[in-house]
Amino acid sequence: MTSLDELCVNTIRMLSADGVEKANSGHPGMPMGAATVAYVLWTRFLKHNPGNPD
């Protein structure tokens, strides 16, 4: 992983932890642990095009 990839994954982790804390419900372990998987799926496999949602 490049330093940019690591920065993105760490950002996802912190945003996930903030979301769990603000909701005052849940445990941050799962979203923090799955941040790398989510990042890889989104950047390398999922192809989202807002102009063509089909």
34 is a domain residue: yes
Asked if the structure places residue 32 within a domain, the reply is yes
Question: How many structural domains is the chain composed of?
Answer: 1
pLDDT band at 10 (very low <50, low <70, confident <90, very high): very high
Q: Which domain holds residue 34?
A: 3-45
- Answer yes or no: is 50 within a domain: no
Per-residue pLDDT tens for 14-52?
A: 999 999 999 998 888 998 999 999 999 999 999 888 898
Q: Residue 54 pLDDT more than 80?
A: no
Higher pLDDT, 26 or 9: 9
3-state secondary structure 4-52: HHHHHHHHHHHHHHHHHHHHCCCCCHHHHHCHHHHHHHHHHHCCCCCCC
Global pTM value = 0.79
Q: Give the mean pLDDT of 9-18.
A: 96
Residue 53 lies in a domain: no
